[in-house]
Amino acid sequence: MLLISNRRCQVPRVVVVGAGFAGLAAARALRRSGMAVTLVDRHVYSTFQPLLYQVATGGLNPGDVAYPVRAYATQHRAGFRRGAVVRVDTAARQVVLADGGRVSYDYLILAGGVTTTHFGVPGAAQHTFAVYTRGDAIAVRDALMDRLETVAESPDRRLDLVVVGGGPTGVETAGALAELCDTGIRAAFPEIARDRVRVLLVERGEDVLSGFHPSLRRYAVRQLRHRGVQVRLGATVAAVEADRLCMADGTTVPAELTVWAAGVAAADQVRDWGLPQGAGGRILVGPDLRVLGEDRVFAAGDLAFDPQAPMPQLAPPAIQMGAHAAGQIERLAAGLGTKQFRYRDKGNAATIGRSAAVIELPGLVRLTGPIAWLGWVGLHVVMLLGARNRLSTLLNLAWRYLSRPYGRNLIVGDSPSRLPIQEAA
């Protein structure tokens, strides 16, 4: 017994904070390392963020995009501790959790992701919804059903659904809302004429999908407009009130439900972790992904920021960074030096709606239309964790896109009177 216990003590302990793309990739990469790996997450599930907007717009169930972290950890010979990290005690080599618990490490990977930022726009945090967590998406869907029911009961009322931000999340959400109006609402709320519901996308820049090639950006705007989305470019939101946006040019825009998809930053609580932060509060790392000034602490995914080589905040870089950080820990434990992280660009994709998507692959390959859309569906279904989730997502997406009208089978929400769920850290 003594021997076993001593041996256990000699096995390096790796703590991975965050069970998103980066954290899970790190745990997967360490599976055969023989180290004692513990995943820490504030939730008991890992969220597949790229399909959250489908949950928000009644196409998918919240369970379709969630996978139990404990099951994943067990499959990958790791442990799991639920808890929100509130501080990193680098001197004691421990992460401190909100419930007062402490988890000791020899090596640490911080992969806690980022969250919605409102850029200090007055009223934005109070009066808009985010689509960043599973709780956010459920709140949007519940509120959407609530607003639609109110409009169905009041023949004189109209409904203005507004999306702020023309990045992939904003474009995908606006496209899905337009589709909801075209087919879903018509079937589920026959009292509501199409012209009583307006979907507006507001973007401060002169284009949507700024990370994509200009031809793909133009395609996305054309497709959105074709689907009935009003796209306002070069429009800056100055303040948000309960039922309208106040624009920087002095005009107002009616908004009964606003989804805020204008940007992300590290959570405010990361300030308390006592680690160096850069743009958007992200944790500063060196070329090998070690946190600046720290020998045993790495950061990966959306939360990590190397000013010399900033990464797009997307799933492929997060996965590669998580795996790289894990590899460097194995090297350090073996007495070797670390290697620089090099991103292998796998391309980028966004969908606008049925039969319309954009895909940009390395080597100047650009796809649009039904082929890109099928590629987008396939990619997302394959990337989901768990066969059951893949099957139910495929079925729900097929129902949404292939059955007309799909509205009678909308995955509906409650009818709350409350405002967005502001998720605890």
Dihedral sign computed on CA atoms, order 162, 166, 170, 173: positive
- How many beta carbons lie within 10 A of that of residue 382, not counting itself? 8
From candidates 33, 38, 169, 320, binder to ligand FAD by CB under 6 A: 169
Query: Residue type at 342?
Result: R
The active-site residue, picked from 172, 203, 256, 360, is 172
Contact status: 313 vs ligand FAD (CB under 6 A): yes
From candidates 16, 33, 37, 41, binder to ligand FAD by CB under 6 A: 41
From 13-21, 189-197, 360-368, 393-401, give the range in contact with ligand FAD by CB under 6 A: 13-21
From candidates 14, 15, 40, 174, binder to ligand FAD by CB under 6 A: 40
Q: Which two tokens stand for residue 314?
A: 């997307």
From 20-28, 180-188, 280-288, 407-415, give the range in contact with ligand FAD by CB under 6 A: 20-28
Q: What is d(CA 15, CA 26) in angstroms, rounded to the nearest whole number?
A: 10
* C-beta closer to ligand FAD: residue 11 or 361: 361
Could you confirm whether 423 is annotated as catalytic?
A: no
Per the listing, tokens 């501080």 go with 87
From candidates 19, 124, 285, 352, binder to ligand FAD by CB under 6 A: 19
Chain-centroid distance of CA 8 in Å reads 37
Q: Is residue 314 a contact partner of residue 300, using CB atoms and an 8 Å limit? A: no
Least Cβ distance, residue 321 to ligand FAD (angstroms): 8
* C-beta closer to ligand FAD: residue 148 or 318: 318
- Residue ranges with strand state E in 48-150: 66-68, 79-82, 85-89, 94-97, 102-104, 107-110, 115-116
* C-beta closer to ligand FAD: residue 89 or 153: 89
Q: Which two tokens stand for residue 21?
A: 């793309």
Q: What is d(CA 338, CA 163) in angstroms, rounded to the nearest whole number?
A: 43
From candidates 12, 59, 62, 112, binder to ligand FAD by CB under 6 A: 112
Least Cβ distance, residue 154 to ligand FAD (angstroms): 31
Least Cβ distance, residue 292 to ligand FAD (angstroms): 18
Q: Is residue 356 a contact partner of residue 224, using CB atoms and an 8 Å limit? A: no
Least Cβ distance, residue 405 to ligand FAD (angstroms): 25
Q: Is residue 77 a contact partner of residue 105, using CB atoms and an 8 Å limit? A: no
- How many beta carbons lie within 10 A of that of residue 110, not counting itself? 31
From candidates 46, 117, 368, 389, binder to ligand FAD by CB under 6 A: 46
Q: How many residues bind ligand FAD (CB under 6 A)?
A: 35
Nearest Cα neighbor of 369 from 355, 388, 348 is 355
Q: Is 177 exposed, middle or buried (0-12, 13-18, 19+ CB in 10 A)?
A: buried
Q: What is d(CA 250, CA 84) in angstroms, rounded to the nearest whole number?
A: 41
From 1-9, 153-161, 287-295, 301-309, give the range in contact with ligand FAD by CB under 6 A: 301-309
Contact status: 21 vs ligand FAD (CB under 6 A): yes
Residue nearest to ligand FAD (CB): 20
- Give the CA-trace dihedral at 127, 131, 133, 138, to 10 degrees: 80
From candidates 12, 23, 59, 184, binder to ligand FAD by CB under 6 A: 23
From candidates 72, 107, 132, 305, binder to ligand FAD by CB under 6 A: 132
Q: Is residue 26 a contact partner of residue 78, using CB atoms and an 8 Å limit? A: no
From 4-12, 138-146, 297-305, 397-405, give the range in contact with ligand FAD by CB under 6 A: 297-305
* C-beta closer to ligand FAD: residue 23 or 59: 23
From 109-117, 288-296, 325-333, 415-423, give the range in contact with ligand FAD by CB under 6 A: 109-117
Q: What is d(CA 67, CA 19) in angstroms, rounded to the nearest whole number?
A: 10
Contact status: 49 vs ligand FAD (CB under 6 A): yes
Contact status: 165 vs ligand FAD (CB under 6 A): no
* C-beta closer to ligand FAD: residue 86 or 238: 86
Q: Is residue 21 a contact partner of residue 315, using CB atoms and an 8 Å limit? A: yes
Q: Is residue 242 a contact partner of residue 268, using CB atoms and an 8 Å limit? A: no
- Give the CA-trace dihedral at 314, 316, 321, 324, to 10 degrees: 180
Q: What are the percentages of helix, strand and coil residues in the chain, rounded to 5?
A: 40, 25, 35
* C-beta closer to ligand FAD: residue 80 or 406: 80
Contact status: 84 vs ligand FAD (CB under 6 A): yes
From candidates 113, 166, 327, 386, binder to ligand FAD by CB under 6 A: 113
Site for ligand FAD in 199-258 (CB under 6 A): none
Residue numbers at the binding site for ligand FAD (CB under 6 A):
17-23, 40-43, 46-47, 49-50, 52-53, 84-85, 111-113, 131-132, 168-169, 301-303, 313-316, 318, 425
Active site residues: 172
